Chains A and B, each alone.
Chain A
Amino acid sequence: MSTWTPGSLAPRPEAAPLGRMLRAQTRAELTLTLRNSEQVLLTLVIPLGLLVVLTLVPFIAVTGRRADFFVPGILALAIMSSAFTGQAIATGFERQYGVLKRLGATPLPRWVLLLAKTLGVLAVELLQLVLICVVGLALGWHPHGTPTVVAFVVLGTAAFSGLGLLLGGTLSGLTTLAAANLVWFVLLLLGGVVFPLTEFGGAADLLRLLPTAALSNGLRQLLQHGVTSGRDLLALAVWAVVALTAAARAFRWE
Chain B
Amino acid sequence: MNDTALEVVDLVKRYDTRTALDGLSFDVGRGTVCALLGPNGAGKTSTVEIAEGFRTADGGSVTVLGHRPQDPAVRPRVGVMPQSGGGYPGLKAAELLDLFAAFHAHPLDPSDLIERLGLGEVAGTPFRRLSGGQQQRLSLAMAVVGRPELVFLDEPTAGLDPQARRATWELIEALRHDGVTVLLTTHLMDEAEQLADDVVVIDHGRLVARGTVAALTHSDGEIRFRAAPGLALEIAGATVTETEGRYLVRGLAGPALLAAVTGWCATHGVMPQDLQTQRSLEDVFLDLTGRDLRS
Name A's B-contacting residues (CB within 8 A).
Answer: 1-4, 6-17, 20-21, 23-25, 28, 31-32, 35-36, 93-94, 97-99, 101-102, 104-109, 254
B103 near A102 with CB under 8 A, answer no
B95/A1 in contact, CB under 8 A:
no
Taking a contact as CB atoms under 8 Å apart, the answer to whether A99 and B87 are in contact is yes
Give the interface centre of B106, B118, B144 by most chain A CB atoms within 10 Å.
B106
Are A102 and B82 within 8 A (Cβ)?
Answer: yes
- Cβ–Cβ < 8 Å partners of A2 in chain B: 115-116, 167, 170
Q: Are A4 and B174 in contact (CB under 8 A)?
A: yes
- Give the residues in chain B near A254, CB-CB below 8 Å: 54
Once A11-B180, A15-B76, A99-B88 are accepted as A-B contacts, the answer to whether A107 and B174 lie under 8 Å apart by CB is no
| Contacting pair B117 A32 (CB below 8 A) | no
Tell me if B175 and A105 are in contact (CB < 8 A). no
B contact residues around A28 at 8 Å (CB): 88, 91, 95, 99
Name the contact of A31 in the complex, choosing from B54, B85, B95 (C-beta under 8 A): B95
**1/0 per position for B88-110, CB-CB distance to A under 8 A?**
11110001001110111110100
Chain B's closest residue to A23 (CB) is: B102
Taking Cβ atoms with an 8 Å cutoff, the residues of B that contact A are 52-54, 72, 75-78, 80, 82, 84-91, 95, 98-100, 102-106, 108, 115-118, 142, 144, 146-149, 163, 166-167, 170-171, 174-175, 177-180
- In the complex, the answer to whether B77 meets A98 with C-beta atoms within 8 Å is no
Do A16 and B116 touch across chains, with their CB atoms under 8 A apart?
A: no
Q: Which residues on A sit within 8 Å (CB–CB) of B52?
A: 105
Among residues of A, the one whose C-beta sits closest to the C-beta of B139 is: A102
With A11-B149, A11-B179, A105-B75 known as contacts, the answer to whether A1 contacts B87 (CB < 8 A) is no
Q: How many Å from the CB of B99 to the closest CB on chain A? A: 5
Q: B65: nearest residue on chain A (CB-CB)?
A: A13
Q: Which residues of A contact B175 (CB under 8 A)?
A: 9
Give the contacting residue for B75; candidates A9, A15, A32; CB below 8 A. A15
- Contact A13 B99, CB 8 Å, known A35-B90, A98-B84, A99-B86: no
User: Would A106 and B105 be within 8 Å (CB), given that A9-B175, A10-B147, A98-B82 are in contact?
Assistant: no
Measured CB to CB, the nearest residue on chain B to A1 is: B167
Chain A residues with Cβ below 8 Å from B76 are 13-15, 107
How many whole Å from A100's CB to the nearest CB in chain B? 9
Known interface pairs A1-B117, A15-B104, A102-B86; 13 further A-B residue pairs with C-beta atoms within 8 A, sorted by A's residue number:
A2-B116, A8-B178, A10-B179, A11-B147, A11-B149, A12-B106, A13-B76, A14-B104, A28-B95, A36-B90, A98-B85, A99-B85, A106-B100
CB distance from A68 to the nearest CB of B (A): 38
* Cα-based distance from A138 to B177 in the complex (angstroms): 67
Kindly identify which residue among A16, A36, A99 contacts B103, using a CB–CB cutoff of 8 Å: A16
Which residue of chain A is the closest to B96 with respect to CB atoms? A28
Asked whether A31 lies within 8 Å of B91 as measured between CB atoms, the reply is: yes
Give Cα distance in the complex from A211 to B199, angstroms.
58
Contact A13 B104 (CB under 8 A): yes
Is A11 a contact partner of B148 (Cβ separation < 8 A)? yes
A11 touches B85 (CB 8 A): no
Nearest 8 A-B pairs (CB), nearest first? A24-B102, A98-B85, A102-B86, A4-B174, A14-B105, A105-B80, A11-B149, A13-B77
Q: In chain B, what residue has the closest Cβ to A32?
A: B90
Q: Give chain B nearest CB distance to A43 CB in angstroms.
A: 15
The residue of chain B having its C-beta at the shortest distance from the C-beta of A28 within the complex is B99
A250 to chain B, nearest CB (A): 18
